[in-house]
Amino acid sequence: MRAVIQRVLQASVEVDGNSIASINNGLAVLAGFSPSDTSKDLEYICQKIIGIRIFDNASSFMNLSLSDVHGGLLLIPQFTLYGDARKGRRPSFSSAMKPETASEYFDSFVAMCKAAYPHVATGKFKAHMKVMLVNDGPVTILLDSSKLF
């Protein structure tokens, strides 16, 4: 599983002209799945997201977690995190999990995050979404459950 975590002042998702999710101060997370992922991968990324200390404390030092600041968590499915553009001009998505299975994994990931943290909003799987956010810092962290980066 891969995730792109962005510390945000605000973030929202729109589908078909309708706002379906929004948060203020917190984390916007793009989440993608590979065919080799298991529930352990979901757990690893969920715990990293909830516990990662990328919010400033009183000394302006990144030492606080999402739980510490009581921020929002916006989870957005994004299969393109497994896009491979090393050859040619059109990315290959063969390393991404198939949509039917990925949908179930995203739902499981959302449920896992909601069980661990109370302030969770989500994008919509397999929808054309407009994601708007104000990145704070900017702070952007890449996570991979295979620990490739």
Distance from C-alpha of 128 to C-alpha of 111, rounded to nearest angstrom = 22
Identify which of 92, 76, 3, 83 has the alpha carbon closest to the alpha carbon of residue 41. Answer: 3
Structural domain span for residue 55 = 2-144
Q: Which residues are known to be catalytic?
A: 78-80
149 pLDDT above the threshold of 80: no
For 47-72, write each residue's pLDDT tens digit.
Answer: 999 999 999 999 989 999 999 999 99
Distance from C-alpha of 75 to C-alpha of 130, rounded to nearest angstrom = 13
What CATH number has the domain bearing residue 102?
Answer: 3.50.80.10
> What was the pLDDT predicted at 115?
98
Q: Which residues contact 105 (CB under 8 A, 6 or more apart)?
A: 1, 33, 37, 42, 97
> What was the pLDDT predicted at 60?
86
Q: Residue 131: inside a domain, yes or no?
A: yes
For 59-116, write each residue's pLDDT tens digit.
Answer: 989 999 999 999 999 999 999 999 999 999 999 999 999 999 999 999 999 999 999 9
Q: Residue 98: inside a domain, yes or no?
A: yes
Q: Residue 46: inside a domain, yes or no?
A: yes
13 pLDDT above the threshold of 90: yes
Q: Residue 83: inside a domain, yes or no?
A: yes
Enter the pTM of the model: 0.96
Give the rounded percent of residues in the chain with a pLDDT score beyond 70. 100
Instruction: Report the domain count for the chain.
Output: 1
Distance from C-alpha of 10 to C-alpha of 37, rounded to nearest angstrom = 30
Q: Which residues contact 13 (CB under 8 A, 6 or more apart)?
A: 19, 20, 21, 22, 74, 76, 121, 122, 123, 124, 129, 130, 131, 132
Q: Residue 149: inside a domain, yes or no?
A: no
